[in-house]
Amino acid sequence: MEKVTYEPIGIIHSKYKKKEGVPIQGVLSKNSNGKIEIFSQYQDGLKDLEKFSHIILIYHFHLATKYSLSVKPFLEEKEHGIFACRAPKRPNPIGISVVKLEKVIGNVVYISECDIIDGTPLLDIKPYVSKFDIRDDVKDGWLTGKLEDVKEHKADDRYS
């Protein structure tokens, strides 16, 4: 198979300058704001984005240096396979976050519920669509029974 490469379409900016202290899952950190600077050649692609309340960001974990096929995620003291977790130590360091869209001004997209490190290269944006992105028959795997009382949680050094 041939090599797959992508070019960033923008840069994500947030108050988080290092891995430690970044919220784990933006939905748990409602007041965590950020903004996305879309490169000028892609600005026209933002047309009508502001009509959505939430967007899906696909980005490159630019601070990831190696991967592991098993990790100990937050909420668990036991290791799980990397594909059964959302940890950044992936063979292809690709991140995905659902964030709340606050506004779009020119080539800048303002967001909240941000769980992304400052300077992260953005690969793509997709609108979050409730009819397509919510499922009724969901199983939470090893997380079953661990999510009811989850509060805001910050990243530690386990993936450094």
Is 70 among the domain residues?
yes
Looking at residue 159, its pLDDT comes to 46
> 106's torsion region: left (phi>0), alpha (psi -120 to 50) or beta?
left
**Cα(20)–Cα(70) distance, rounded to whole angstroms?**
20
Q: Is 120 exposed, middle or buried (0-12, 13-18, 19+ CB in 10 A)?
A: buried
Higher-pLDDT residue of 134 and 126 is 126
Looking at residue 3, its pLDDT comes to 93
Is 156 among the domain residues?
no
Higher-pLDDT residue of 70 and 141 is 70
> 21's torsion region: left (phi>0), alpha (psi -120 to 50) or beta?
left
Is 139 among the domain residues?
no
Looking at residue 8, its pLDDT comes to 98
Higher-pLDDT residue of 78 and 120 is 120
Is 147 among the domain residues?
no
* Percentage, residues of the chain above pLDDT 90: 53
Q: What is the pLDDT of residues 1-55, one digit of tens each?
A: 999 999 999 999 999 887 766 666 656 677 789 999 999 999 999 999 999 999 9
Q: Encode 40-59 in three state secondary structure.
A: HHHHHHHCCHHHCCEEEEEE
User: CB neighbours of 108 closer than 8 A, spacing ≥ 6?
Assistant: 35, 36, 37, 38
Number of domains in the chain: 1
Compute and round to an integer the Cα radius of gyration of the chain.
16
**CATH number for the domain that contains residue 38:** 2.40.30.70
Is 57 among the domain residues?
yes
Q: Which among 116, 115, 105, 97 has a CA at the least distance from the CA of 56? A: 97
What is the domain extent for residue 98? Answer: 10-129
Is 149 among the domain residues?
no
Is 3 among the domain residues?
no
Is 54 among the domain residues?
yes
